[in-house]
Structure 1
Amino acid sequence: MTDVVLFEELICDNGKKIGVATLNSPKSLNALSGDMIDLLYPQLEAWQQAKEISAVFLQGAGEKALCAGGDIVKLYNDMQEAGEEFSPSIESYFTREYQLDYLIHTYTKPFIVWGHGIVMGGGLGLMVGASHRIVTESSRIAMPEISIGLYPDVGGTWFLNRMPDNCGLFLGLTGASINASDAKYTGMADYFVPAEQKQALLATLTSINWGDTTALNHEKLNDAMRELERSHISKMPATFVKANQSLINQTTQGESLAEIVNNIINVEVEDKWFNRAQSSLKHGSAISAHLVYQQLIKGKRLSLADCFRMELDLSVKCGQYGEFQEGVRALLIDKDNQPKWRFTDVESVDAATVEWFFDSKWSVQEHPLASLGK
């Protein structure tokens, strides 16, 4: 059986090393499985402690995706088995995933992610916390959870709240797909490098005169990446988000979620990207829309660790409630694309149901992520 994550160490010109981790399940678009997480976490910790390792480079096998998201087919089967009961396997998966995401966010050494191809959901959780996030002309990035009855987890509470001018709320509600230029504009990526320049990038990384001072290593990598990007900046794709920024601002102004959703869905505009976003919101889960709206309000002043704790509360409830299960069924199991959502629109969702999702099933001390950030 092939290893689902491959590890190697590149020797640099000065004898230092770069740890390379490759998600190795190209047939599933490198969907993030529990086995992948269990291999990645201890290796990343070991590399963080190893003196000879100066930086880490994360990529996906194949040319189509870094990671298309979590292994939601496996999660669907776990939810099926649990029925309407709480699922320990759902808790275990999301706990381990968020611990891995948090490790990347707080990694002390330069952490480089090659965000080529599809980067969605759980894949974005791996990329967004890295210190050096690289996108290409083929990068296709999204948090499309509204279409499967979930919500933008993997730190979405943190990074969506830090986007400019309500872009986070709009992208969370619509699940809109964005490109490399949009990723840089919204703060989800740092550098643009064409896919054909990947080997040149790796050669650049191994030629850096890495030292033993973390801050200086970050500076050296910053300089090298800026120089590499400068030669290819003209190849960046046209932006969707920035081009629609005034419309995003206009439609996300409202006193309630219902008003904002109606604004987005009903505004008349001839723009294919915006129209696709309207359609995703219109056909998505009304409960998911409420979760997005509330997670951004409640998470605005939370620490990164507290954001992940709140998301684990939400995720285990999503695993129990049934909306997530129905969304996966319609999209990936039966593939009828006809999810039977609990509520027909956001106005129909009662406040008590929404609050149930945010009510933690654990005490502060018993929370599975209680030690995060401590």
Structure 2
Amino acid sequence: MKIVGIFRGFPGLGRVVSGVGLLNQLRERGHEVLGYSYMQGVEVLKDYGIPNILEKQPMDSNIMEIGLNPISKVSGELIGKILDINPDLVIIDGEALLVSTLSLVFDRNKIISLLNPTDLYNDSLPESTIAFYKMHYLAGGTAIVHTPKLDENILPRENINCNLHLINTIIRNDILKIKSQMENRNIIGILGGGCANSSENFYNSTLEIGKKIIGVAQKLNKENFIIYCNDKKIKRVLDREKENIKNIKIIDEYKNPKDIYREAKIVLCRSGRNTVSELLYLEKPGILFSSKGDFRSKEQEKNIDTVISINPFKIRKSSIDEPVDGIIEKINYLEENKNRSVEFIPGNERALEIIENILRGRG
């Protein structure tokens, strides 16, 4: 069977990495897979060797807060490509208007939306915005909401015209394969997929998290630190900040997650859904920050509270305003509790089961 995946390529890589990982698992099951993403997401497709169905990239003016402008030239060509390919299934993550527009010209029963819980409900948004998202994200035949903690209360109850599934977070299969290969050598900072097209608050808080990690490295000078920022502009600023600190490196290009997590003994990072779920699955100790003054901040605060409720021994909460000594205290707590763990079962097999049932006509 032929499957196309389309994944929003900004502001981070959360939409891309789980979707591309799922495509890769479908390829391992014998399906032909193709993809489309843009900006940071292109590198993920290349890393997995998944063919990109359209080399063109949208202009900044045609990328909105909710993704691609569906009536832009690039989106028109993208939809045309899908119609020419005529795949058995299209999986879309993060492109609300593309879901609804494609469903007008393509069999909606062959369209799956991959969703965050906050795609359907976020109490920091106006009711009109929530209604807008619900209408467009649920325009396809199937929607899969994947989240670290199952809670039926997050699902809408009325006016649903698609098959709606709630499962544990889909984790990229690189992560699934490395759990037994941990080296646990370095303290790792992960600043996300980059700051292209991000808000000024997101950019500034990313810098502040990086600077905070550098401050921790300066005091814990017997530990080795690596910061992954995937952003050359961020790296230039942080390089100046760490100029005389020898026990820290900063990486500004996309790295496969297996190369990041394998050597991590403690992770300091933002608290996107994918990252917190990966820490839970790998049983990695982590200190989590939320985006400050950004529309993601409430969602990430909820993510932190959720994972702490699942595994309080391996996860601690911090903020960019916390003193370095406070973060070091949390690192010591994590070291003391590193052997205490709670099993987390990813939603991959359930997602694959849903997809295979659709392909067999039983969806």
TM interval, short-chain normalised: under 0.3
Structure with higher helix content: 1
Structure with higher strand content: 2
Report which structure shows greater RCO (CA 8 Å, sep ≥6).
Answer: 1
TM-score by length of 1: 0.25
